[in-house]
Amino acid sequence: MRIVVLTGAGISAESGVATFRDSDGLWEGHDVEDVATPEAFERQPSVVHGFYDDRRAALAGVEPNPAHRALGRLGDVLGDDFFLVTQNIDDLHERGGSAHVHHMHGELRSALCRGCGARMSWTRELSDYPPCPGCGVSELRPDVVWFGEVPYGMDLIQLQLTRADLFVSIGTSGAVYPAAGFVQYAARHGARTLELNLMPSEGTHFFDEARHGRAGELVPVWVDEVLAGRSG
Ligand code: BJW
């Protein structure tokens, strides 16, 4: 059985990473238009750099939770029959044991050079406008996908969705496209679909099955079910 899992901010909530649209969410203190668009970066680069520098630094203080670890276990067993695509820019899946993670909205620990286009591993601040190690130009930006930009690796994601037997969406509100449309795309190509989320998402009615609760509880139970089904 080939499984595609999509994750969103809700899977990292129990690790202490704020979600975007919940009442205590990240954007309570920041208007999305001020930080998550290319136009905002042109207008106020220091505000945007500060927002992402703070989030990058905060990664050192958070740990993967049982949901990340359960997906790490599942990937170990299923190998190439498992594809994990995340909208999250944290590195908690990797630290939870997932060897291959497709970060469709980019990564906090990566920088993108607007001069030469290179993407590079980056763990320091960007707000002091360091030069690109490749071309020397001081045009580094957070390597994240803002509104109006094209998410990374859409061709690969679509290929994986067309081949999936099961599509599982975990901890995402279903408010942001194209990720919000994956459930319908996978279903059209024959996959069964399952939502695991604290609350019904905006697209909950598109799923064959929905389970509502905390990811740290729901995901390990679901992974155990899948693994038991394989051995039984
Ligand atoms: C728990 C939990 C617990 C809490 N356990 N669960 C009009 C109609 C349709 C589309 C558009 C439109 N106008 C514009 C668009 C397109 C636009 C879009 O979708 N806009 C919407 C606002 C409508 N999309 C884009 O521009 C995208 N690009 C694009 O479409 O390019 C065109 C193209 C596509 C494909 C091929 C070719 C061309 C780009 C979108 C970029 C999004 N970027 C951000 C910021 C990234 C960097 C950063 O992190 O700062 O990505 S926005 C933000 O939202 C971030 C997230 O990844 C994304 C999704 O949020 P997520 O993960 O769902 O978080 P929340 O907070 O919304 O939800 C958390 C959920 O968890 C909740 O449901 C909770 O209940 C739950 N939860 N605790 C389980 N313990």
Express each pLDDT in 40-50 by its tens digit: 999 999 989 99
Q: Are residues 54 and 131 both part of a single domain? A: yes
**Pocket-testing residue among 103, 108, 147, ligand 1, by greatest number of atoms within 8 A of Cβ:** 147
Q: What is the rounded average pLDDT of the residues 143-165?
A: 98
Alpha-carbon distances of 37 from 42, 51, 98, 127, rounded to whole Å: 9, 13, 29, 17
Q: Are residues 214 and 188 both part of a single domain? A: yes
State which residues form the domain around 54: 18-61+106-144
Q: Are residues 118 and 224 both part of a single domain? A: no
- Gap between the Cα atoms of 183 and 185, Å rounded: 5
Number of folded domains in the chain?
Answer: 2
Q: Are residues 126 and 69 both part of a single domain? A: no
Q: What is the rounded average pLDDT of the residues 154-175?
A: 98
pLDDT at 165: 98
Q: Which of 125, 144, 163 is the last residue of a domain?
A: 144
Distance in Å, CA 228 to ligand 1 centroid: 33
Express each pLDDT in 55-113 by its tens digit: 999 999 999 999 999 999 999 999 999 999 999 999 999 999 999 999 999 999 999 99
Q: Which of 116, 144, 172 is the last residue of a domain?
A: 144
Q: Are residues 181 and 222 both part of a single domain? A: yes
Indicate which residue's Cα is closest to atom 12 of ligand 1.
Answer: 177
Q: Are residues 122 and 224 both part of a single domain? A: no
pLDDT at 110: 98
Nearest to 108 by CA among 95, 122, 94, 129: 122
Q: What is the rounded average pLDDT of the residues 113-119?
A: 97
Q: Are residues 113 and 186 both part of a single domain? A: no
pTM: 0.97
Q: Are residues 163 and 100 both part of a single domain? A: yes
Where does 89-179 show beta strands of DSSP type E?
102-103, 106-113, 119-121, 140-144, 166-170
Indicate which residue's Cα is closest to atom 56 of ligand 1.
Answer: 87
Check: CB of residue 84 under 8 Å from CB of residue 7.
yes
**Pocket-testing residue among 7, 20, 141, ligand 1, by greatest number of atoms within 8 A of Cβ:** 20
Q: Are residues 164 and 197 both part of a single domain? A: yes
Check: CB of residue 223 under 8 Å from CB of residue 73.
yes
Beta-bridged to residue 85, according to DSSP, are 6, 102
Q: What is the rounded average pLDDT of the residues 8-27?
A: 86
Q: Are residues 110 and 163 both part of a single domain? A: no
Pocket of ligand 1 (CB under 6 A): 8-10, 13-14, 19-22, 25, 36, 87, 89, 105, 144-151, 154, 171-173, 175-178, 197-199, 201, 214-215
Q: Which of 87, 116, 144 is the last residue of a domain?
A: 144
Q: Are residues 78 and 160 both part of a single domain? A: yes
- Gap between the Cα atoms of 21 and 172, Å rounded: 10
Alpha-carbon distances of 99 from 91, 151, 202, 216, rounded to whole Å: 11, 21, 30, 20
In the DSSP assignment, the letter for residue 48 is H
According to DSSP, the β-strands at 166-170 and 82-86 are unpaired
Q: Domain of 124: which CATH number?
A: 3.30.1600.10
Buried b (16+ CB within 10 A) or exposed e, 25-52: ebbeebeeeebbbeebbeeeeeebbbbb
What is the band of 230 on the pLDDT scale with cuts at 50, 70, 90? Answer: confident
Angle at 184 between CA 153 and CA 179, to 5 degrees: 35
- Gap between the Cα atoms of 93 and 59, Å rounded: 12
Q: What is the rounded average pLDDT of the residues 157-171?
A: 98
Indicate which residue's Cα is closest to atom 68 of ligand 1.
Answer: 173
pLDDT at 72: 98
Alpha-carbon distances of 219 from 11, 35, 195, rounded to whole Å: 9, 31, 10
Q: Are residues 211 and 195 both part of a single domain? A: yes
Q: Is the pLDDT assigned to residue 207 strictly greater than 90?
A: yes
Given 105, 189, 205, 212, which residue is catalytic? 105
Indicate which residue's Cα is closest to atom 21 of ligand 1.
Answer: 176
Confirm whether 105 is a catalytic residue: yes
